[in-house]
Amino acid sequence: MKETLEDIGMDSAVRTGSRSWLVYAMITTVFWGVWGALIELPEKAGFPATLGYCVWALTMLIPAFFALRSNDWKLDTDRKAIINGLVIGLLGCVGQILLFHVLMIGPAYLVFPIISLSPLLTILMSYILLKERASARAWTGIILALIAIPLLSYQSPQNESHGSAWIWLSLLVFVAWGAQAYFMKTANGFMQTASIFFYMTISAIAIIPVALAMTDFKQDINWGLSGPYLATLIQLLNAIGALFLVYAFRYGKAIIVSPMTNAGAPMITIILSLIIYATIPHPAIIGGMLLAIVAIFLMAE
């Protein structure tokens, strides 16, 4: 008998008892947190973010290789699996490409808080369609995480004028990333995790030409050790984190995994940035960090 959407949600509630989802979610949080603190190093050294995307897409091949090998090279190749795997991958990659453009035309201090709330869409879809539920304690953590995420994304306003196109594009990124997490959860109900990540990798590589077209090759580009080579090491953290995120969604509830990783990773990024760059965070960010700590504690029941 085929699983219904509600079956997927109920099944995750049973499997969540193993708490393996928490281990995977925390690994993702740590890897993404460190990645966030280091990602700007290659760009500041003269390696464009769009080329950084290309590097990231290629680094996805490494965890994809190990995921498939651990699964005895078994790959879901039926039409449903392929379509869902590619949809998950494209939602994430297209969202990233759109973000590059949004940051060119819109204020970052408003863009990031909008897209950082993408877990809200994941939570709503999972609650309504998957019938996922959580305890009062976990719901308190979820709400605190949703408050913390935009605070952690705070950036000082700039005295610049912008049109309105960036708002709609930001909302598209919000929808793409929120929906991606939901479909990542549902796909785990009928296909293997390694297969999901494989198709995510294929999607990422397929978008490389778009990133290359967005790159200004007339500028001086750093092709040295602090450019693509450093970017490879840093982007590998992102790729590995993405693999463990898929596993976290497989064994955990989307309404908890999504806000936890989205609140936890920026918190680690900010702490590491404070140590590395010796910068004092804005009070709003400090408030977000405190809320995130409490939220993670409450959700990790």
- Please provide the DSSP assignment of 226-264 as one string: IIIIHHHHHHHHHHHHHHHHHHHHHHS-HHHHHHHHHHH
pLDDT value at residue 161:
54
- pLDDT band of residue 13 (cuts 50, 70, 90) is very low
Q: The tokens of 168 are what?
A: 């709609």
pLDDT at 74 over 60: yes
What does the alpha-carbon distance between residue 144 and residue 292 come to, in Å, rounded to a whole number?
7
What does the alpha-carbon distance between residue 212 and residue 53 come to, in Å, rounded to a whole number?
9
Q: The tokens of 118 are what?
A: 């993408």
pLDDT at 2 over 50: no
Q: Is the separation of the CB atoms in 93 and 204 below 8 Å?
A: yes
What does the alpha-carbon distance between residue 276 and residue 282 come to, in Å, rounded to a whole number?
16
Which H helix or E strand runs over 15?
helix 5-15
Of 234, 265, 247, residue with least CA distance to 66: 247
Q: The tokens of 35 are what?
A: 């990645």
What does the alpha-carbon distance between residue 190 and residue 179 come to, in Å, rounded to a whole number?
17
What does the alpha-carbon distance between residue 103 and residue 195 come to, in Å, rounded to a whole number?
32
pLDDT value at residue 159:
55
Q: What is the overall mean pLDDT for the chain?
A: 88
Over residues 177-181, the mean pLDDT reads: 95
Q: Examine residue 179 and state whether it is found in any structural domain, yes or no.
A: yes
pLDDT value at residue 101:
87
What CA dihedral angle connects 110, 111, 116 and 117, to 10 degrees? 70
pLDDT value at residue 174:
92
Q: In whole angstroms, how large is the CA radius of gyration of the chain?
A: 19
Q: Examine residue 286 and state whether it is found in any structural domain, yes or no.
A: yes
What does the alpha-carbon distance between residue 118 and residue 213 come to, in Å, rounded to a whole number?
27
> What values do phi and psi take at 192, rounded to 5?
-75, 150
Q: Examine residue 256 and state whether it is found in any structural domain, yes or no.
A: yes
Q: Examine residue 41 and state whether it is found in any structural domain, yes or no.
A: yes
pLDDT value at residue 25:
95
Worst-scoring range by mean pLDDT, 104-113, 157-166, 238-247? 157-166
Over residues 225-244, the mean pLDDT reads: 96
Q: Examine residue 160 and state whether it is found in any structural domain, yes or no.
A: no
In this structure, is the dihedral angle defined by the CA atoms of residues 19, 21, 22 and 24, taken in order, positive or negative? positive
Over residues 107-135, the mean pLDDT reads: 88
pLDDT value at residue 8:
46
What does the alpha-carbon distance between residue 219 and residue 270 come to, in Å, rounded to a whole number?
30
> What values do phi and psi take at 283, rounded to 5?
-50, -35
State how many domains the chain has. 1
Q: Would you call 111 exposed, middle or buried from its count of C-beta atoms within 10 A (0-12, 13-18, 19+)?
A: buried
Worst-scoring range by mean pLDDT, 2-16, 182-196, 211-225? 2-16
pLDDT value at residue 273:
85
Q: Which domain holds residue 52?
A: 5-155+165-299
Over residues 244-264, the mean pLDDT reads: 93
Residue 135's CB is within 10 A of a number of other CB atoms, namely 11
